[in-house]
Structure 1
Amino acid sequence: MLSVLTKFPLIFLAYLAVLLYYCIFDFNSLIALAFACSLGIALYRKYFLLFPILLVLTGFFFIVSIDNHQKMITQAQNVSQIKIIPDSIQVNGDLLSFQGNEAGKKYQVYDTLQSEKEKKFYENLRQNCTISFTGNLEVPEHQRNFNGFDEQKYLATQGIYREIIVTSISKIKTNRGLDLHVLRRSAIVWIQSHFPKPMSNYMTGLLFGYLDKDFEQMGDIYSSLGIIHLFALSGMQVNFFIDGLRKILLRLGIRRDIVDILQVPFSIIYAFLTGLSVSILRALFQKNIKLTGLDNIALTTLILMFVSPKFLLTAGGQLTLFYAFAISMLSHLFISKKESLTEKIHLTSKLKQVIIASSALSLLVLPVLIFNFYIFQPLSILLTIGFGMLFDLILLPLLLTVFLLSLTGLTLNLNWMFKTLEALVQLVDCPFHYPLVLGKPNAIQLILLLSITALLLDFWMQKKLRWLLLCSLFIIFFTCKNPSQPTITAVDVGQGDSIFLKDRFNKQTILIDTGGRLNIPEKSWQKAQTESNASKTLIPYLESEGVSQIDQLILTHTDDDHVGDFLNLADKIKIKEVWVSPGELTCPDFVGKLKKAKIPIHLTQVGDEIPIFNSQLQVLSNGYTGKGDNNDSIVTYGNFYGKKFLFTGDLEQDGEMKLLKNYPNLKVDILKAGHHGSKTSSNPKFIKQIQPQLAIISVGKNNHYGHPNQQTLDTFKKYKVKSLRTDQNGAIKLTEIKGIWRISTVR
């Protein structure tokens, strides 16, 4: 087979295979055009052997695609028992999650633990286990926000098409059989029970690819510094363990060809012990394939497509492959010509060589990175070098040694070292906490970025061309970060409110409320480490739009579903000024949040204006009760490009009638319905008077309050007001194009 493939460049075949992959799994007309043009090049270069291989790949991809569709629509309607995959268990407060198998199908399972004893059972579970239960079988949540997380697609890449929400467990049956999942789980439980945190987190993370939920806060800091990838097992660990195995076997006198054979089963076992992550699989294939440079990564890509067909649908799969390709490309461009990159630009310092190589790698990967995560930390270039050496040369061998010693009964407590490390990371994070927010490139921008970065590295020595390419990159990054169209978006934050107004090129940004969850008192063992709602909804949307600063944040009143994520937002996005009402300052908890945020506060007055959209957002009311409650909501109004907008917070009927009394001639085209469509708001007299054409209802799916109330929906219907709801439509965006507001929804 290899002799056939070497008739043409393997990397060209891999390139065509990737284009074909996306044409079938995630169709885009630009990709289809690129694929057609590339086939034309293959014909011109007489690479005829490509076509039967591509035909085989086409058949395979279609079979996988059809199989995925069939699994989605033919899942069992009822499941009453399931076998737990032990190394997928996560216990977080009173929340339990794991993956399990039943009748050849895989499920994601969630349960709420009922006692501390039950919690300890699952925390210490290190054997196969089957549970009998009653519960609900649900389809995973689809994307709810523009550029937002799609749980359904994510789980489908792991072969999971249904979630199980357990209501009660009737029977637990354990099985003492041993497999690699049990072995990995046993190692994780052993570490967690023998070593303190945070040391145990670093040990499970670096040795077995498992990070506990309580590492989330620290992981967030590593992410903001751009070095969280050091915990994603890949080439560093693979090289360490494979090279270590080979050295030991060779020193024992085993022949090299036998060592090569023994390396294969060791690689398979290691893949299972580290959770079968795609980055580990990629690194193991590269390590075991006896080709070099671009040929190695090309064949690795083709094998991964058969072994893990959905890997390119995940951000992790895209990044691990592109990092490997970028490294191979740099090696091909410079080392194969017996010239290092640093020799080309006349640098001799070893440190400068490393920095230049790392910078070139970061530049190559940057388009794919911001396409998935929208942000970039320039400091990560230096931090990756420093912390990478620390993790690779010191922590990994040290933790392996400590772990092996603990199996003999000798436990070394080095927790002080990891507490010092985390203190150092937090110290570095303070002045560099906010990364560059570059926004999400569209398909055309992504292709241009990839092409120009590759050309820039190839033609770096040609000064005029270099500056032309650098300027081109800057322009494209600028357009990614600063979209040209004004937008108003009702972000789907669940049961809460968050309305974002963005002028063209982000020259003015206003956010009305942040959303948030209601806090329910819990016992200590029930307290879970949970992400804020904004970290999964509002913040990713803002970053995808290139927003690094909110000019004015209007917090309408003090309810948690409107202001609960204020501090979480301030931790990720700079806020220039917070607008509050006098009544909100009577709430001690809310005032405490304002003090903690240390952001300038503007106390709103009726008539206050914020310039935006060649007009102003005007404060019509700064509250009617002076208590920071629903009827104390800040109400704002704006006439933007021919349409009149009214944002009412949680204003209820009494407040609506007072608003009408103060503004008897008020007319509105687009209304943000008060109090999530509750029957306590949207008074029929109010709706009749203001005559809105569209009501936007920000409301959580299947919320406990029954919002929106049917009475409110009937009122809208009676007065011919079209309504859009975030629970049904997802995020709702209005985009101004040539003086016309166009409506788009996620669903």
Structure 2
Amino acid sequence: IILIAYFIFAGEPDVLIRSIISGELILLKDLTNKKIKAQVIWSLSLLFSLAMVPQILLTLGGQLSFALTFCLTFAQRLTFWQTNILMSLVSFPLIIQQQYTWHILQTFINFAAIPIFGTVIVPLVMIGFFGQYIPFLTYITNLIIRYFAYMVDLCATLPGNFVVGKIPNALAAILLFLALGMFAREAKIKHISRISWLVSFSVAMIFVHLPYHGEFATFDIGQGDAAVIREPYNKTITLIDTGGKVTFGEQPAWQKQKYFRTNGETVIVNYLHSRGISKIDNLVLSHHDQDHIGNAKVILTKMNVKNVIIPAGMMQQSSFKTEIKPYLRSAQVTEVTNNIQVSKLPLQIVHPFKSGQAKNEDCIALFGHIGGKNIFTAGDLDQSGEKQIANFLPDMHVDILKFGHHGSKTSTNPEVINKWHPEIGIISAGRNNRYNHPNKETLETAQNNKMTVFNTQINGMMCYAAVDMYKISQKAYFMGHKY
């Protein structure tokens, strides 16, 4: 009765269903003196859980809960160390499919954390719950639990975090079952499982870290701009802008969140990790607006960035000194105009023509040949800047156009678009944004030129996979000679 009451008062969370059902079955077994095998209790708890929450095995919590308790049903013959290694190997493919990274210290930390959690933390939680009317007791229990959580978080910041990436689901399932086979009773099965696990994991790493296809992807990060160019085999990674939240005035203290993750981490870094990417060769920041560089600090902190490319004159701006410079670490900064081309940058820099103040009219514009298509992207560059580029490169033709300024009427010059003849347009703008982007004038220009328009507001994140990108990507660097 207490278990059921606890489940109700806790808000009936899905992750508690298995433990509540298992607990009730174990109590029933003890009360009736009937022998019920652990595997039967586990199976019944799974059936009841699926009946109550059919999608529970689609969640990471549900997967870990049932996979790890399944291991415990036959782990009695294993030593403490073997049990922990088994549970780490079983949880590895499940966690990787959701978080894409694995800390090499994780298994060792579990050896210490699991006993402490069972013998110290759980009793303290119960003491704190039933002793909530004794302020001193509640304070002591909260303090111990807080320091335990702090130590676990501190261990996660230590070196050793390895970016694995999202491996194919079939290989993840194979790794899961082979992990169970490593601790079978038969020596031959254990030997074959261990070798097969290493081979399967190696294949998964090759599949993730050396992809045959390249891509040009536009992130769905709200009212902002961020895109990535990934060459085949992850030869070079170029991130163009980082998005960022624009705030108006100082927020009151009660509105500030203590633990807050920006979409630079939850969207951009998370996606790059899923592709097995831990370093960025080129971080191109088109200009100094917050919705283009606001998450730069997150990217520079969470990723290994080799080169930061900014428009000439931006280093003197306060936005660079406060938002970028303190987080550079080992990254090199290169200020550019159209006369400066950066090594290993898959697109050609076609704007700005001179040094400026990193405003919209000073935006970095990139153009080049990727996977058989000519691509043009220019941040918030205005119509005048687009016209300057078209005059400077009169034979320029664009297949994929990333609309300037989130589809604002200040960009997308009708004369220039009519000259370039783009087939596809991409708009990066927030849903129900206060600026009404994309503007009606921009959409009319696209319609008049018979363009197919994709919008992050409707389509979410968009990716153009470039099959033959590796063979012809170097042509982008020499494009200026052709034109």
Q: Same fold (TM over 0.5)?
A: yes
User: For the residues of structure 2 that align with 1:409 and 1:715, how far apart are their CA atoms?
Assistant: 67
> C-alpha separation between the residues in 1 aligned to 2:368 and 2:228?
13
- Taking structure 2 as the reference length, the TM-score comes to 0.85
1:46-65 equivalence runs, <5 A: none
- The DSSP-based 3-state class of the residue aligned with 2:347 is strand
Q: What's the TM-score, normalizing by structure 1?
A: 0.57
Is 2:114 the partner of 1:388? yes
Q: Give the corresponding residue for 1:54.
A: none
Match of 1:304 among 35, 38, 49: 49
Equivalent residues in 2 for 1:596-611, closer than 5 Å: 596-599=326-329, 600-605=331-336, 606=338, 607-611=340-344
Distance 1:591 1:623 in 2: 23
Q: What corresponds to 1:650 in structure 2?
A: 380
Quote the offset at 1:421 in angstroms.
Answer: 4.8
Residue 568 of structure 1 aligns to which amino acid in structure 2? Answer: V
Matched, 1:686 2:413: no
- Output aligned runs, 1:139-288, within 5 Å: 265-288=1-24
Amino acid in the other structure paired with 1:448? I
Structure 2 counterparts to residues 419-434 of structure 1, below 5 A: 421=148, 424-425=151-152, 427-432=154-159
Write the deviation string for residues 404-458 of structure 1: whole angstroms up to 9, x where unpaired: 44414655644765675566456534433x7322222333333333343344443
The offset of 1:304, in angstroms, is 1.0
Q: Distance in 2 between matches of 1:653 and 1:545?
A: 35
For residues 62 and 408 of structure 2, the distance between their equivalents in structure 1, rounded to whole angstroms, comes to 44
Paired position in structure 2 for 1:729: 459
Q: Which residue of 1 aligns with 2:32?
A: none
Deviation of 1:298 after TM superposition, in Å, equals: 1.2
Structure with the greater relative contact order (CA < 8 A, sep ≥ 6): 1 or 2? 2
**1:464/1:428 Cα in 2 relative to 1: closer, same or farther (>3 Å)?**
closer
Q: Which segment is superposed worse, 525-534 or 501-510?
A: 525-534
Amino acid at match of 2:94: V
Partner of 1:535: 265
How many matched pairs? 454
- Rounded Cα–Cα distance in structure 1 between residues aligned with 2:355 and 2:440: 27
Name the CA distance, whole Å, in 2 between partners of 1:739 and 1:408: 67
Residue deviations 1:30-83 (CA, integer Å, cap 9, x gap):
xxxxxxxxxxxxxxxxxxxxxxxxxxxxxxxxxxxxxxxxxxxxxxxxxxxxxx
User: Which residue identity lines up with residue 403 of structure 2 in the other structure?
Assistant: A
Determine if contact 1:326/1:365 at 8 Å carries over to the other structure: no
Q: Is the 8 A contact 1:623 1:634 kept in 2?
A: no
Alpha-carbon distance between aligned partners in 2 of 1:472 and 1:525, rounded to the nearest angstrom: 50
- The 2-side partners of 1:523 and 1:719 are apart by 47
Distance 1:320 1:402 in 2: 25
Distance in 1, Cα, partners of 2:94 & 2:134 = 45
The within-5 A match list for 1:290-369 is 290=29, 291-328=36-73, 330-331=74-75, 335=76, 339-340=77-78, 353-369=79-95
Could you give the per-residue CA deviations for residues 158-215 of structure 1, whole angstroms, max 9, x where no partner exists?
xxxxxxxxxxxxxxxxxxxxxxxxxxxxxxxxxxxxxxxxxxxxxxxxxxxxxxxxxx
In the TM superposition, what whole-angstrom CA distance separates every residue of 1:96-144 from its partner, at most 9, and x where no partner exists?
A: xxxxxxxxxxxxxxxxxxxxxxxxxxxxxxxxxxxxxxxxxxxxxxxxx
Distance, in Å, in 2 between the alignment partners of 1:739 and 1:565 is 28
RMSD over equivalenced CA pairs, Å: 2.8
Q: How many Å separate the matches in 2 of 1:702 and 1:410?
A: 49
Match of 1:50 in 2: none
CA distance in 2, matches of 1:406, 1:663: 73
In 2, distance between residues paired with 1:406 and 1:489? 51
* Equivalent in 441, 446, 464 of residue 716 of structure 1: 446
Is the Cα contact below 8 Å between 1:491 and 1:499 reproduced in 2? yes
Q: Give the AA of the match of 1:642.
A: G
> Equivalents in 1 of 2:347, 2:24: separation in Å?
62
Task: For 1:580, give the aligned amino acid.
Answer: I
CA drift of 1:464 comes to: 6.3
Name the residue aligned to 1:448: 174
- In the TM superposition, residue 602 of structure 1 has moved relative to its aligned partner by 2.4
- Matching residue of 1:435: 161
For 1:666, what is the secondary structure of its paired residue? coil
> Matches of 1:698 and 1:421 in 2, distance apart?
42
Distance 1:396 1:622, change over 3 A: farther
User: SS of the residue aligned with 1:724?
Assistant: strand
Cα deviations by residue, 1:348-403 (Å, 9 ceiling, x for unpaired): xxxxx434321221112222222222222221112122223333322332354355
CA distance in 1, matches of 2:168, 2:110: 28
Amino acid at match of 2:395: N
**Other-structure match for 2:98:** 372
Asked whether the equivalents of residues 239 and 280 of structure 2 are also in contact (C-alpha less than 8 Å), the reply is yes
Structure 1, unmatched stretches of 5+, are 1-264, 341-352, 741-747
Return the alpha-carbon distance in structure 2 between the equivalents of residues 708 and 635 of structure 1: 20
How far 1:738 moved relative to its partner?
5.5
Tell me the residue number matched to 1:524. 253
Of residues 308, 314, 320 in structure 2, which corresponds to 1:578? Answer: 308
Aligned to 1:471: 199
Aligned to 2:233: 505
In structure 2, stretches of 5+ residues that fail to align are 30-35, 471-483
2:390 equivalent in structure 1: 660
Structure 2 counterpart of 1:554, one-letter code: V
Match of 2:474 in 1: none
8 Å CA contact 2:284–2:310 kept in 1: the answer is yes
Contact between 1:670 and 1:694, CA under 8 Å: does it hold in 2?
yes
8 A Cα contact 1:515 1:563, kept in partner: yes
Percent identity over the alignment is 28
